[in-house]
Structure 1
């Protein structure tokens, strides 16, 4: 998998480095990498566990962002192509 195939959005600016949006963006990049890895190595259970942990953290951050700023959450999920859980 080439490194250029990761998602590139303008959340990497230095003053927005720790924002919820940039954290979700970086976790989504990790999910893409781990998903690709687990498709190639389907019996690597420790990587699967890591993927589940990253997905759980991203889900918690998305729920928090949805509660605090639903418009920003909707824009972010549209840009990243991910879904928000209906359970809040």
Structure 2
């Protein structure tokens, strides 16, 4: 069973994007990455030696960081709102 069902994706995009089908906006992508990061973090707490997952977690964090930097340079207000909404810290 997958932890990220299509319904869950729709819910994330509906909450943070402009609509349920808005998969491209930085806010929607950052929210999706944050959900995946929290799931992988929980997995790694149990499976400490799973280095492949650790690597993919680091890649995901980097992707989210780059998206946040992009959003920060384009629209600081949207950046601040998504940071506050998701509880991400620098």
With the shorter chain as reference, the TM-score category is: 0.7 to 0.9
Question: Relative contact order: is structure 1 or structure 2 higher (C-alpha 8 Å, sep ≥ 6)?
Answer: 1
SS at match of 2:35: helix
Equivalent residue number for residue 78 of structure 1: 84
* RMSD of aligned residue pairs (Cα, Å): 2.1
* Equivalent residue runs for 1:1-80 within 5 Å: 10-11=15-16, 13-80=19-86
Runs of 5+ in structure 2 lacking a partner? Answer: none
Segment of structure 1 superposing worse, 8-17 or 49-58: 8-17
How far did 1:14 drift?
Answer: 3.3
Q: Deviations over 1:4-60 (max 9, x none)?
A: xx9x57125235221010000000001000000000100000000000000000000
Tell me the TM-score normalised to structure 2 length: 0.79
Count matched residues: 80
Tell me the TM-score normalised to structure 1 length: 0.81
Counterpart CA distance in 2 for 1:11 and 1:62 is 14
